[in-house]
Amino acid sequence: MTCIPILITLVLASASLHAKAQVIQPTFNTTTWTKPYQYVLQYLSNSTSPFITLTDPQWPTYATTFNERLQYIPAAITIPNTTEQITAAVSCASKYGIPVQAKSGGHSYASYSTGGHNGILMIDLENFNSVSLDNRTGIAAVGGGVSLGNLAQGIWEQGRRALGHGTCPGVGIGGHFTHGGYGYSSRAFGLALEQIIGLDVVLANGSFVKIDNETLGYVYYALRGAADSFGIATTFYLQTSTAPEVVIKFSYSFPPALESIENATAVFMGVQNFSLYSAVVVSFNKTIAPALLEALPVPPALNEGSVEPTDWITSLAMLAGEGSLTVPLHGFLQQDNFYAKSVSTNVSFAEEPIRKFFEYAYSAGEGLDAPISWFSIINLYGGPDS
């Protein structure tokens, strides 16, 4: 039986669900667009690449952002079918100084997939949606518009293979894999970008290149972390791993931990100490679960936890909270209305800062009885081999 270590996640949330934050409506006077925009639109009209503008009936399907608070209006949206159509569009936009933004899944919290401001040329990669696994090498060739759910399902069905990445099925590979790509299996497989061994890319000047660590290695380095500034990945070449035979999904609820700042701090420190020093899961029920529970000064009741062995692909669906990992290739639109902030550190937390965190969480905005819904997620990862 093969098992893998996963990260530990703690969630602190308010119980109240009230009105959403105000939606910020976009404003963009298209009648004042400068000539460069007109030149680009004229080029698109004469090209073979499908595109839409603000008056097109399909505009809401392609332009609506995941975060309702941050809506932006592109100058135009292209939906190319070929790499040649992407290179031509990027070359034209580059010639006239029009910003270009590729959209893979559109899950950007700050709406960067629509440019983060008005007037960009968006290149929607929904037609670059193939997943092809070479079972001899374990390398998957994946289109730049593939979602994480379709990626995971595809390499599982083609060869019982796995990759380390996030949990939301609708997230696009483009932004996720080129900006880190952290998930529950990162402790076993590494970040998503560490599994990229090559890319097909349209650079900002419109040229098309195939790159890896030895060919244009400096571009390969840049694209694995800051791709938006350098080019559009049309195909990712990913080194997959053998999917674990068994995955243990476990969760425990700690209601007593929320009764006081002292309890919350003590529970956090106990879980952190457990996550720092626990190694590969060998026997969860006999070894790991007792070690975790013994580390907690406020243990959960027996009926407030669950331990469930399952296979790899089912575990991904369970983490996603969905019945299926597969999402539609067109028209898939998730929306939410939120403000999010994150921070990371490469050292463990001392007790005093954690206490201060819980003091703030309990006092700011009436704490757990805040007038709007909020939550804080603390991911603990690493371990003795990290």
Instruction: Work out the average pLDDT over 105-122.
Output: 92
Instruction: Work out the average pLDDT over 263-282.
Output: 74
Per-residue pLDDT tens digits for 232-243? 999 999 999 999
Q: Which residue bears the tokens 């990712």? A: 236
Instruction: Work out the average pLDDT over 257-281.
Output: 77
The domain ranges of the chain are 8-18+247-310+344-380, 33-124, 131-242
pLDDT band at 258 (very low <50, low <70, confident <90, very high): confident
Q: Is the pLDDT of residue 276 over 90?
A: no
> Distance of alpha carbon 1 from its chain centroid, rounded?
29
Q: Is the pLDDT of residue 30 over 60?
A: no
pLDDT band at 156 (very low <50, low <70, confident <90, very high): very high
Q: Is the pLDDT of residue 7 over 70?
A: no
Alpha-carbon gap, residue 106 to 331, rounded angstroms = 11
Long-range contacts of 152-158 (CB under 8 A, 24+ apart): 152/313, 152/316, 152/325, 153/313, 153/325, 153/326, 155/131, 155/240, 156/243, 156/312, 156/313, 158/131, 158/132, 158/133
**What pLDDT, on the 0 to 100 scale, is given for residue 27?**
59
Instruction: Work out the average pLDDT over 255-263.
Output: 81
Alpha-carbon distances, residue 198 vs 110, 119, 222 (angstroms): 28, 31, 12
Q: Evaluate whether 248 touches 239 at the Cβ level (below 8 Å).
A: no
**What pLDDT, on the 0 to 100 scale, is given for residue 3?**
39
**What pLDDT, on the 0 to 100 scale, is given for residue 385?**
57
Q: Which residue bears the tokens 């380095």? A: 221
Q: Is the pLDDT of residue 208 over 90?
A: yes
pLDDT band at 33 (very low <50, low <70, confident <90, very high): low
Domain 131-242 part of CATH 3.40.350.10: no
**Both structure tokens of 126:** 């929904």
In three-state secondary structure terms, 57 is coil
Q: Is the pLDDT of residue 21 over 50?
A: no
Q: Which residue bears the tokens 């969480």? A: 361
> Which of 45-59, 69-83, 263-277 is the least confident region?
263-277
Alpha-carbon gap, residue 46 to 34, rounded angstroms = 19
Tell me which of 156 and 386 has the higher pLDDT.
156
In three-state secondary structure terms, 336 is strand
Q: Is the pLDDT of residue 197 over 60?
A: yes
pLDDT band at 323 (very low <50, low <70, confident <90, very high): confident
Instruction: Work out the average pLDDT over 286-293.
Output: 70
pTM: 0.86
Mean pLDDT, the chain, rounded, equals 84
Q: Domain 33-124: which CATH class?
A: alpha beta
Closest CA to 296 of 281, 278, 274, 276: 274
- Are domains 33-124 and 131-242 of this chain identical in fold? no
pLDDT band at 4 (very low <50, low <70, confident <90, very high): very low
Q: Is the pLDDT of residue 140 over 90?
A: yes
**Both structure tokens of 115:** 């440019």
CA angle 189, 312, 377 (to 5 degrees): 65
Alpha-carbon gap, residue 146 to 79, rounded angstroms = 14
The secondary structure of 185-237 as a DSSP string is THHHH--GGGGEEEEEEEETTS-EEEEESSSSHHHHHHHHHHGGGTEEEEEEE
Q: Is the pLDDT of residue 8 over 70?
A: no
> Which of 29-33, 99-103, 165-169, 219-223 is the least confident region?
29-33
**Both structure tokens of 171:** 């997230």
**What pLDDT, on the 0 to 100 scale, is given for residue 16?**
40
Alpha-carbon gap, residue 60 to 83, rounded angstroms = 25
Q: Is the pLDDT of residue 281 over 60?
A: no
User: What angle, 0 to 180 degrees and rounded to 10, lies between the N-to-C axes of helices 261-277 and 351-363?
Assistant: 140
Closest CA to 181 of 167, 193, 163, 197: 193
Q: Is the pLDDT of residue 19 over 50?
A: no
Q: How far apart are the first and last CA of the chain?
A: 23
Alpha-carbon gap, residue 211 to 203, rounded angstroms = 11
